[in-house]
Amino acid sequence: MKIFTSIILFLLIFVSNSSFSQDSLNFKNSKSPATATILSAVLPGAGQFYNESYWKIGVIAGLGGYFTYEIIRSNNDVSNYSNQYNNTITPENPQGDIRLKNLRDFYVDQRDRFYIYAGILYIVQLVDAYVDAELYDFNVTDNIKFSVGKSKRNFMELKVGF
């Protein structure tokens, strides 16, 4: 994979013979990536609403709601099993019920795992809002031409036409 990426990078940087028109240099996005990212940072899914990617709001809300539910449920189980375990510790049995201790530890790990999942979801939706705003005006037409061939000046030439 690294070799393929290096070859593409080499072709794009050193071999490509591209010229930019004045219109392409003065291009301005109709959606601001900074605004989309800030909106998503304040309220997850708001950047997707700003970018008019409405279906993503449901995915973010669904996953966020599920992760929140699991965090709350696991936290309740941690509290429940912790109390039960603490009640089994006696002078005769200082270790307490090991089964309850293992259940408590399991739900602590489960809760922490869902905190990580929620954090990953938050970061991914921020990145998605930024990228979606950046590519909002990206032109996807059937008039795209791509060719690779020999050139008089270069060893190889990469041409992309729209």
Structure tokens that stand for 108 in this block: 């602590």
Cβ(81)–Cβ(104) below 8 Å: yes
110-138 pLDDT tens trace: 999 999 999 999 999 999 999 999 988 87
Cβ(160)–Cβ(145) below 8 Å: yes
Provide the pLDDT for residue 16.
45
- Angle formed at CA 28 by CA 24 and CA 32, multiple of 5 degrees: 145
CA distance 13 to 126: 29
The overall pTM is greater than 0.75? no
Structure tokens that stand for 41 in this block: 């940072």
Provide the pLDDT for residue 137.
82
